[in-house]
Amino acid sequence: MKIRDLFEHYGVLGNPFAEEDAQNDVVFKSSCIKTSFHAAWDKIYGNPSEPATSVVFGEKGSGKTALRIQMIRMLTEYNTDHPETRPIVLDYSDLNPFIDRFRHRFPQGRKIQKVLARWELWDHLDAILSLGVTQVIDRILEPKQTAHPAAVDLKPLPIEKLNLHQVRDLLLLASCYDTSRSENTVSRWSRLAKKLRYRTWESLVSNNWEISLGVLGTFISIWTAFQWAGLGFLINRLFYFVVLILWCPLLLKILQRFTKAWSIKRSLRVLPHLKSNLFKILMRLRKTDFSGMPFPVSGNTDNRYEMLVKFLGLCNTLGLNGLIVLMDRVDEPYLINGSAELMKLIVWPIFDNKLLKHERVGLKLLLPNQLLEFMERESKDFHQRARLDKQNLIRSLDWTGESLFDLTNARLAACAADGKSPNITDFFELSLDRRRLVDAFAKLKVPRHLFKFLYHLFGQHVNKHTDTEPVWKIPETMFESVLSLYLRDRDAAERNLGVV
């Protein structure tokens, strides 16, 4: 007997419980994403027109990744319906690139615990700004070819609305935070400057007067030497001193920009900048645009906040009303490998009320429940800094037996053939009524364990019967024995004594 035959007998096409990860779950993405929501959905999702922070703790398999995917889908629909007030959405769920680059800033022999202990709030701000700036520049340069979370570009971003100061701010942000690898960094910056009409005759003259002074001054000095004293003057020390003075403005500019490029590269510990590219870009900035700007140097958090404010201001002008950051899968980077202590070192710096309650910024932190235990043992100073009482805190992403029962039926309905309305109770003998199933599902706690159990149960049942003598109802004895074995294996796995 085949499991496919069992499902088709009840009008179900395919196996609704084959996938365990929402990232690859076709049933969830095609249907349940619009119909199945956790009870805390409204508090977590909030109102996109006024982005707000939510902090969610949940055990593995409780649906954190599904929440992230659902939020992206719902925000896409919101952005489609509200083109003038759509927020920009950043998927901050792949931490591997940022952690890898951070790791390479320290000696290779140093233990990872000591390395991640140096992770600070400004590293998160740099990562968030890099995601945001890169997305905005992508959408300016290639509005029809970008695929960012919830990005709906029905028409190009209105860059003509940016004033001169915002053009300067965007180019400054691009020089530090554009991490696209679609083309050379310098040529991409130049394309952006051209599209923003940053290059004018006035800027060309003001940006190259040092070179003009050096070249023209040297030519005049040589001509004067020939006129006054012939070749003899060319070997006079005074001649070389005059030429050096003429080239001093350019040399000073080169030294200033090179020093700044070196300082920026050294400070952006999670981004892959080349010092030579940074230097070339900084050399193209006008002196008035370069001087006094809040470059991200020396681990200065205030400068990062100032750049965040500039970024939000130009986003608002472009019709991108606010910033929503989705942080998920913090246990998955290979250098962390599920270690709660290492996760804490990465996550804790972001618990700063200034960032979590920043105007027009909403962070959706989807965190493993192991971190909740650390949080509850933290000092009073930590809680005063984080102010979690203001952050829409969900201490546990719990699922009741009833909610899991409804989720099961929703997945069956998503795979149902036309005209069919399957129910999970149809698959079992009459002695297994709805109440018993609800009680059993409650013990499984989370969707992942529910799907694993049902997949295993159906597989066990069909393996005990032949195609010629099929049995369409699962007996109570098998249900109870498979459930008991699954719960025992799950508990053993959680105690690191076995694998589910």
pLDDT tens digits along 427-436: 999 888 999 9
Look at residue 299 in the predicted model and tell me its pLDDT: 77
pLDDT tens digits along 175-210: 999 998 888 889 999 999 999 988 644 444 455 656
Detail the DSSP E strand segments found in 376-426: 393-394
Supply φ then ψ for residue 302, to 5 degrees: -60, -40
The yes-or-no verdict on residue 234 having pLDDT over 60 is no
Enumerate domains of the chain plus CATH numbers: 3-12+402-494 (no CATH), 50-131+319-394 (3.40.50), 158-318 (no CATH)
User: Between the CA of residue 175 and those of 42, 307, 403, what are the distances in Å?
Assistant: 38, 12, 49
Q: 382, 70 in Cβ contact below 8 A?
A: no
Pairing, β 393-394 against β 54-58: parallel
pLDDT tens digits along 411-424: 999 999 988 999 99
DSSP per-residue codes, 279-291: HHHHHTS-HHHHT
User: Between the CA of residue 459 and those of 225, 231, 399, what are the distances in Å?
Assistant: 97, 98, 25
Buried b / exposed e over 302-317, threshold 16 CB at 10 Å, is ebbbebbebbbebbeb
Q: 312, 355 in Cβ contact below 8 A?
A: no
Look at residue 218 in the predicted model and tell me its pLDDT: 64
The yes-or-no verdict on residue 105 having pLDDT over 60 is yes
Residue in the structure block whose two tokens are 């009833």 = 402
81: left (phi over 0), alpha (psi -120 to 50) or beta: alpha
184/228 Cα distance (integer angstroms): 50
Helix ranges (H only) for 229-274 are 231-234, 237-267
pLDDT tens digits along 63-103: 999 999 999 999 999 999 988 889 999 999 999 999 999 99
Look at residue 102 in the predicted model and tell me its pLDDT: 94
Helix ranges (H only) for 318-379 are 340-347, 353-356, 370-376
Q: Which residues contact 351 (CB under 8 A, 6 or more apart)?
A: 382, 385, 386, 388
Q: What does pTM read for this prediction?
A: 0.88
Q: 276, 298 in Cβ contact below 8 A?
A: no
338: left (phi over 0), alpha (psi -120 to 50) or beta: left
pLDDT tens digits along 26-74: 899 888 898 889 999 999 999 999 999 999 999 988 999 999 999 999 9
Look at residue 342 in the predicted model and tell me its pLDDT: 95
213/355 Cα distance (integer angstroms): 47
Look at residue 202 in the predicted model and tell me its pLDDT: 46
Look at residue 304 in the predicted model and tell me its pLDDT: 93
Between 211 and 292, the more confident residue is: 292
pLDDT tens digits along 276-320: 888 888 888 877 777 778 888 877 889 999 999 999 999 999 999
pLDDT tens digits along 119-148: 999 999 999 999 999 999 999 998 776 788
Q: Which long-range contacts (CB under 8 A, 24 or more apart) does 302-309 make?
A: 304/122, 304/125, 304/126, 304/129, 305/125, 305/354, 305/358, 307/129, 307/172, 307/173, 307/176, 307/177, 308/125, 308/128, 308/129, 308/358, 308/361
Q: Which residues contact 468 (CB under 8 A, 6 or more apart)?
A: none
Residues 239-249 have a mean pLDDT of: 66
H/E stretch holding 366: strand 361-368
Q: Which residues contact 138 (CB under 8 A, 6 or more apart)?
A: 146, 148, 180, 182
pLDDT confidence bin for 248, thresholds 50/70/90: confident
59 half-sphere exposure, CB direction, 13 A CA radius: 9
Residues 361-387 have a mean pLDDT of: 93
Supply φ then ψ for residue 321, to 5 degrees: -90, 85
Pairing, β 361-368 against β 393-394: unpaired
User: Which two three-digit tokens encode residue 20?
Assistant: 């365990």
Residue in the structure block whose two tokens are 């490029």 = 261
Q: What is the mean pLDDT of the chain?
A: 87
